[in-house]
Amino acid sequence: MTHRIGIILNGVTGRMGTNQHLERSLCSIIKEGGIQLGSGQRIMPEIILTGRNEEKLRVLAEEHGRKTTGETFPYTTDLEGALNGSYGNYEVFFDASGTLQRGKFIEMAAAAGKAIYCEKPTATKSAEALRLAKLVDDAGLKNGVVQDKLWLPGFRKVRALRDRGYFGDILSVRGEFGYWVFTGLGGEQPAQRPSWNYRSEDGGGIMIDMFCHWHYLINNLFGPIRRLVAYGNTDITQRRNEHGDAFTCTADDSAYAIFVLHDGTVCQFNSSWCVRVRRDDLLSVEINGTKGSAVAGLRDVYLQSASDTPKPVWNPDVEQPIQFLDDWQKAPEGMVYDNAFKIQWQDFLRHVVLDEPWCYSLHEGAKGVQLAELGMQSWMESRWVEIPEL
Ligand SMILES: NC(=O)c1ccc[n+]([C@@H]2O[C@H](COP(=O)([O-])OP(=O)(O)OC[C@H]3O[C@@H](n4cnc5c(N)ncnc54)[C@H](O)[C@@H]3O)[C@@H](O)[C@H]2O)c1
């Protein structure tokens, strides 16, 4: 038996919409013959692409439709029509448009009674994120927010290590995120991220972007956050946009934070689009425990147990005798790891169709927005901030 599930993909011509959600998640699921449920049952997505630019939608629908089903995917600029059934029956609404557009689209989808799934952040202010969460909850609609990092191979391995007690007591967590985003100025290459990321009036800023991720990552792997102190900065004040025009950056492009958990564990995360990488990966998280430590990248994890720990002595007058990188072992690959966004899509669709448990709701997403907002408050007021129950 095939459970057909119709999905409206909105804002799909953007970077995330096209690469992660359309190509690597839904097209991949469709090409595999749907989500296999055992005993011959499966969930098969049927998608329609929506957005503002008909020509971009047509190109995307033709290219990906042909590669996936052999036929162009349906598409339209008439979102209202897609929601009210003018183009067929679609039960799920997904949004990967800009952060500041999200609220309007969620309102429309809620009014149409759709199950709602969307990119993070759901808003730039927690009051708005909470309003949207309440709107969909009060309407009794199934809902979810992308929390993709939880399904990255590196963090799935960390979770498994934690569950088998590898770390002993976890003492501290240090996250280093970032890479050089080109400015497009002074002979530099064009930027590899959308220019709105560097304008706060367009929903940009690294704190609102990354603290949402740090919230669910820390919360799910290490425990709930009790308080934080944060500082942000706009390191680079001028960049060139997609049209080649120079603009003034109004949003933070680097952010530094210490999060203290309820059990006292300290998690410190640096985030920046103005750093050059000399570490294993674009995100590297070091977890130090009484029995062992781990350094997780997006895919690989390196381990050092208590018994492998070298005993350094401070002496800058001689060449360092210890090759520190040699005392780390690569964590074994337990399985084949599929795309993180795709796994979360599969879980969400199983939740919608089969009513399976799901905890990555708009309300959970709002907590990430709250953390970013309180981070900005800490920065502006130069002080520690407690995190109240949302
Ligand atoms: N989960 C993650 O790791 C992750 C990573 C990057 C971005 N994001 C989030 O995904 C969202 C999209 O980011 P992106 O990097 O793809 O940006 P983008 O600029 O590449 O894409 C935004 C898309 O929204 C569309 N759009 C904007 N206004 C619209 C409107 N009024 N109606 C319809 N469509 C509209 C744009 O045309 C574009 O297709 C943002 O909210 C961002 O915070 C999440």
pLDDT digits (tens, 9 = 90+) for 300-346: 999 999 999 999 999 999 999 999 999 999 999 979 999 999 999 99
Residues 6+ apart with CB under 8 A from 154: 281, 285, 296, 297, 298, 299, 300, 301
Query: If you average pLDDT over residues 89-113, what whole number do you get?
Result: 98
Q: Is 104 in the pocket of ligand 1 (CB under 6 A)?
A: no
Nearest in space to 19 (alpha carbons), one of 64, 78, 77, 50? 64
Position 3 pLDDT exceeds 90: yes
Q: How many CB atoms lie within 10 A of CB 164?
A: 8
Mark whether 159 and 136 lie in a shared domain.
no
pLDDT band at residue 97 under the 50/70/90 scheme: very high
Q: Is residue 390 part of a domain?
A: no
Give yes or no: residues 161 and 310 share one domain. Answer: yes
Residue 101, ligand 1, Cβ within 6 A = yes
Residue 170 belongs to a domain: yes
In short, whether 56's Cβ falls inside 6 Å of ligand 1 is no
Q: Is the pLDDT of residue 362 over 90?
A: yes
| Average pLDDT rounded to a whole number, residues 362-378 | 98
- Do both 325 and 345 map to the same domain? no
**Residue 287 DSSP SS3:** strand
- Nearest-atom number in ligand 1 for the CA of 102 is 41
Q: Atom of ligand 1 at shortest distance to CA of 149?
A: 3
> Ligand 1 within 6 A of 241 CB?
no
User: What does the pLDDT read at residue 15?
Assistant: 96
Same domain flag for 165 and 273: yes
Percent share of the chain, pLDDT over 70: 100
Which residues lie below 8 Å from residue 285, measured CB to CB, with a gap of 6+? 154, 155, 158, 173, 174, 175, 176, 217, 295, 296
Q: What is the CATH number of the domain that holds 261?
A: 3.30.360.10
The Å distance, Cα 176 to ligand 1 centre, comes to 24
SS3 73: coil
Write the CATH number for 33.
3.40.50.720
pLDDT interval class at 219 (50, 70, 90): very high
Same domain, 38 and 127: yes
Residue 386 in any domain: the answer is no
Please tell me whether the peptide bond between 74 and the residue prior to it is cis, using omega within 30 degrees of 0. no
Confidence of residue 193 (pLDDT cuts 50, 70, 90): very high
| pLDDT for the residue 35 | 98
305 lies in the same domain as 345: no
67 and 180 in a single domain? The answer is: no
Residues 71 and 170 placed together within one structural domain of the fold: no
What is the structure's pLDDT at 339? 98
Ligand 1 contact, 184 CB (< 6 A)? no
Q: Does 161 lie in the same domain as 310?
A: yes
Residues 76, 154: one domain? no
**Model confidence, pTM:** 0.97
Q: What is the pLDDT of residue 78?
A: 98
Whether 95 lines ligand 1, by a CB cut-off of 6 Å, is no
pLDDT on residue 318: 97
Ligand 1 close to Cβ of residue 281 (< 6 A): no
The whole-number pLDDT of residue 259 equals 98
Number of domains in the chain: 2
- In the reported structure, the alpha carbon of residue 100 is separated from the centroid of ligand 1 by a whole-number distance in angstroms of 9
Residues 116, 173 within the same domain: no
Q: Is 99 a pocket residue for ligand 1 (Cβ < 6 Å)? A: yes
What is the structure's pLDDT at 312? 97
Out of 50, 119, 345, mutate this one to test ligand 1's pocket (max ligand atoms within 8 Å of CB): namely 119
In a domain, 177, yes or no: yes
Residue 171 dihedral angles phi and psi, to the nearest 5°? -95, -45
- CB of residue 297 inside a 6 A radius of ligand 1: no
- Read off the tokens for 384: 């520690």
Asked if residue 29 is part of any domain, the answer here is yes
Q: What is the average pLDDT across 101-109? A: 98
The pLDDT assigned to 334 comes to: 79
CA of 97 to the centre of ligand 1 (A): 4
- Ligand 1 contact, 79 CB (< 6 A): no
Per-residue confidence (pLDDT) for residue 64, from 0 to 100: 98
364 within a domain of the structure (yes/no): no
Q: What is the pLDDT of residue 278?
A: 97
- Is residue 202 located within the same domain as residue 111? no
For 152-190, what is each residue's pLDDT tens digit? 999 999 999 999 999 999 999 999 999 999 999 999 999
Q: Tell me the CB-side half-sphere exposure of residue 246, using CA atoms within 13 A.
A: 7
Supply the mean pLDDT for the chain.
Answer: 98
Mean pLDDT for the stretch of residues 369-385: 98
271 in a domain, yes or no? yes
Is 387 inside a domain boundary? no
Could you tell me the distance, in angstroms and rounded to a whole number, from the CA of residue 309 to the centre of ligand 1? 44
Tell me the per-residue pLDDT of 229-259, one tens digit each, with 9 for 90 and over.
999 999 999 999 999 999 999 999 999 999 9
Q: Return all residues near 115 (Cβ < 8 A) that are at least 6 apart.
A: 91, 92, 93, 141, 142, 143, 352
Domain that residue 207 falls in: 149-335+370-381
Across the range 62-88, mean pLDDT stands at 98
Measure 103 CA to ligand 1 centroid, in angstroms: 13
